Chain A
Amino acid sequence: MKVKIKSWRGVAVWKWIANDDNCGICRNGFDGCCPDCKMPGDECPLVWGQCSHCFHIHCIMKWLNSQNVHQLCPMCRQEWKFKE
């Protein structure tokens, strides 16, 4: 007997590849979304700083906008620069 697979449909969950589970600003999971968003993933992506900390993009933008003088990473207080 030979078994021929005609098609295979699996189930998987997606996760961000990040060194933490939660966003340091909103405390929501990275795999969830920031408080302002509805849909996780594409609509609420993560960004990494050069300090290797990462946040929901909406969260960090909000934070940066509220900082007048220096734009610092809220976790390590280094100057915030987006990782390329």
Chain B
Amino acid sequence: MAIEKLDYCWSYLTENYAKKAQTVADCDRVNEAFVVLKRNDFLDYYKEWYFEAFRERFANTVIPCFWQKLPQSTLPRDLSAIIHHSDFSLQSANDACSKLFEAVAYLNDEFNDSAKNVFVESLFEFLDNESLTSFQSRLRSLLKALILSNIHLHFNDYVLLTYCCGFCLFRHLRAQEKHSSAGNRMIDDDDEADSEAESNADAKCILCDGWIEGQISEEVYFAEDGEKELCKCQRTMNLFIEMNSQLKELDLLEVVNEDAVASVTHSFIEKKIREKCQGNFDVLCIKSLEDWVRVTIVGWLEIVYDKENKQMTKNSEERLIHFMYETYAQIRTDQMFDIIVEYPESEPALEDLKECLQKCHGFRQKVIKSLKDSFEIRLLHPGVATNDILTAYIQAIKSLRVLDPSGVILQLVCDPVKKYLKSRDDTVRCIITALTDENSELIPELVKGAPQSVEDGTCQSDDEYMADNWQNWQPDPVDAANVAFSSKSIRSSDIVSILVNIYESKDLFVEEYQRLLAQKFLSNFDCNVDHERRNLELLTLRFGESDLHACEVMLQDMTSSKRLDNRINSGEIEAHHFKKFPIKCLVLSEQFWPEKFGLQSNDEASKIKLPSDVEEAIDTYTKAFETIKPSRTLFWTPFLGSVELELEFKDRKLSFTVTPIHACIIYQFQEKKSWLISELSQSISVPTQVLRRKISYWQNRGILKEVKSDKFILVEDIGQTDDAENQADKMNVEEEYCAYDEDSFDGDIQPGSSRDVGEDKFRIYWSFIENMLTNLNSLPLERIHTMLQMFALQGTNSNELSVQSLRQFLDSKVRDQKLIFSGGLYRLPS
């Protein structure tokens, strides 16, 4: 009897557990059945059976059904593109989201049916040793296990898409809210992208293309035919929120969305940063970005995770902020080269990056590496002009000082640049030119620079420096250990000093400056001496007076020559009775001018024979000089100078300013209309190849013409030439030409490169080396160097002769077969 009753109750309970609609009568019957089970101690069995039945039902029916609701085909095909552009207006994206909503709702319903029905509830009323909630959580774990063990690959795509969509909706709705609360006024905060679009007048939602409720006037609403679809955004958002709470209910929330939330937040943060700082360095944005993350991203997280879960959002907030800083630093690091180039406009970007570097560990190394690499790729190769490298170097110095006031990054990054610049021939010249050019940006640097001489970087030791500034002392950054200890100066010294220190010796600069000055003076006799004097004074503050002494004398020569000219040409000196044309002279103190006056060659025309008038003028000038300055005389350098000429033709007059050689050539054509180049060469004692070069100046002006090879004639009448252009010029009575404009000295004034001068210096040592090798037969390089230093180089600056340059010199001698090099030893050929 009892068994039959038990059997009946068991059957009733096991067969009907899944039925939904329970009337009160049903509940009573269930309760009765459980009473019978309890009496027979069958409750535990029923519980286990129920658990098993739940498993079977979900594994075989519910979960397959759940997956069926999420078919792969509903997913938009170009999923990644949609997520990337956050373009969710597409129907397919919406469909996919609603599929997921449905599926989750289905799962939730099924679970509630199975885990919260009257059977289970009644069961646990009778059970004492276990509570309902713990049983339910067992069921949840089971569900989780079942879902995860059987997860479909595209499920993650569904989740990702939905969360992306959810985020966009959130941002969109928030902007809309702000917009409607602010009226039609434009909103100028971070969500400008959204609010801008929102302000278009047709009151249509940009996300779902539906009409926004409350914002459309009734006229519009009723004007057109058909049903107006209203904006679905809020509804979708509600569904999204509901789905999250359902997932939470099922204890599936974090399992399902963890990856998706992370990738959505990260990708949107990155996108936001890129939007903000792509090619735009002149706005501080790290703070506004941080606010954006705190408000928008974290606001969304609060919706996803529910507000109660404060700890969860708090943790992710800190993580996201850090992520934001790192992403920002990464993006800026990649743009570092452009930031440097655009300094000082890019200063805000540098300030931002500086803050990031303080927060993100390890980014200093990245910045250094990336900059070094981009310098290597974009700057340090033969295709870039030295000037540009220098400019970039200066920019780098300025901007990296903002980034890292300790100067360690600067030093690490700029070391290769410095080394590279050192290897270029024209660096010195470029620096000096930049320093002396009136319009150069270095001039203010030169002016403002503390009168601290270039080489005294070591003079003021760190200790002394610290004694004055101990309150501002900061420890070195950790990576300072990588920096050579001795060269602390680059970190603190000013830009001009850094530039000059590229060579670690100021001699080269002084020499180059002297040469440059000489060339300037000799190519442009009326150059602005006052300006040069100012430059010289500024440079003297840095290089010291003794090194620039010669330049001072050069300047002095310029001014005193002017005075002398005025005095001699004023007629007060009796000896100067020459009146045909004014003769002026630049009287130089030879010892203080660079070798060959800084010109490359002056041998070729040194014997030039000047016209007799000029010779006479020169003689009287010399005599006048001798009377003014007793016991002194002048030695002229006839091929240097400038001559103003006027050529009188039958029909026109032309004026030129040319070099003496040009003048002599054209002078010869007065007597004879045609010259063979060899005759001309004899007549004025200039070698033919030089002559040919100089004649081309007159040829270009249409004054001389080569009729046969080596035979030149004067073009007396313009009509003689067929040149139509010259015909047109016929009417121009007076024309001004300046030979210096086009071919000043015909290339004679080329930078006498410092290397050549170096070789000249070695020539002095050559006799030493020869004697050394005659006596000692054969010697290795180091030995020669030491011996030279011992004997020949005493007193002189030994910087001048490095082993490296000696080797170059000796190798050049080997090439000339003056030396033999074998087995590491140099010896003289027998």
User: Footprint of B on A, CB under 8 Å?
Assistant: 1-18, 29, 31-32, 38-42, 46, 48
Of the A-B pairs whose beta carbons lie under 8 Å apart in the complex, a sample of 28, sorted by A's number, is: A1-B649, A1-B670, A2-B670, A4-B645, A4-B647, A5-B581, A5-B611, A6-B645, A6-B655, A7-B581, A7-B582, A7-B643, A8-B582, A8-B643, A10-B585, A10-B637, A11-B522, A11-B585, A11-B586, A13-B634, A13-B637, A14-B589, A14-B590, A14-B635, A15-B635, A31-B591, A41-B589, A42-B560
Q: Are B644 and A13 in contact (CB under 8 A)?
A: no
CB pair B631 A46 closer than 8 Å: yes
A-B contact count (CB 8 A): 146
* A5/B636 in contact, CB under 8 A: no
Closest to A45 in B: B631
Select B589's contact among A2, A4, A10, A40, beta carbons within 8 Å: A40
Complex-state Cα separation, A45 to B478, whole angstroms: 62
Chain B 706-728, CB-CB to A under 8 Å as 1, else 0, gives 00000000101000000000000
B681 to nearest A CB, angstroms? 19
Chain A nearest CB, measured from B446 CB (Å): 23
Which range contains the number of B residues in contact with the other chain? 35 or more
In the complex, A5 Cα to B669 Cα: how many Å? 14
- Shortest beta-carbon distance, A69 to chain B, in Å? 30
A14 to B588 CA separation, bound complex (whole angstroms): 6
Which of A10, A17, A18 contacts B586, CB < 8 Å?
Answer: A10
State A46–B647 Cα separation when bound (angstroms): 46
Bound CA span A80–B552, Å: 34
Determine how close the nearest CB of chain A comes to the CB of B603; give it in whole angstroms.
Answer: 16
Residues from 613 to 648 in B contacting A, C-beta threshold 8 Å:
613-614, 617-618, 621-622, 625, 629, 631-638, 640-648
Chain B residues with CB under 8 Å of A31's CB are 589-591
CA distance A42 to B611 in the complex (A): 32
User: Chain A's nearest CB lies how many Å from the CB of B715?
Assistant: 9
Tell which of A2, A8, A41, A42 has the most Cβ of chain B within 10 Å: A8
Mark out the residues of chain B between 594 and 614 whose CB falls within 8 Å of any chain A CB in the assembled complex.
597, 611, 613-614
Closest to B614 in A: A8
* Cα of A7 to Cα of B584 in the assembled complex, Å: 8
Contacts of A42 in B (CB 8 A): 560, 629
Say yes or no: A14 contacts B584, CB within 8 Å.
no
Contact (Cβ within 8 A) A39 B553: yes
Say which residue of A1, A10, A12 sits within 8 Å of B714 (CB atoms): A1
Contact B632 A2 (CB under 8 A): no
In the complex the two chains form, is B553's CB within 8 Å of A40's CB?
yes
User: Could you say which residues of chain A place their CB within 8 Å of the CB of B556?
Assistant: 39
Taken together as a complex, chains A and B put the C-alpha atoms of A16 and B592 apart, in Å, by 15
B666 contacts chain A at the CB level, 8 A cutoff: yes
Contact (Cβ within 8 A) A10 B631: no
Residues of A close to B635: CB separation below 8 A: 12-15
Nearest A residue to B522, CB-CB: A11
* Closest A residue to B556 using CB positions: A39
Indicate whether A4 sits within 8 Å of B646 (C-beta atoms), given known contacts A13-B634, A14-B587, A41-B629: yes
| A15 and B590 in contact, given A9-B525, A10-B636 (Cβ under 8 angstroms) | yes
Q: Answer whether residue B667 sits at the interface, using C-beta atoms and an 8 A cutoff.
A: yes
Q: Which residues of A contact B580 (CB under 8 A)?
A: 5
| CB–CB B667/A9 < 8 A | no
A11–B636 CB distance below 8 A? yes
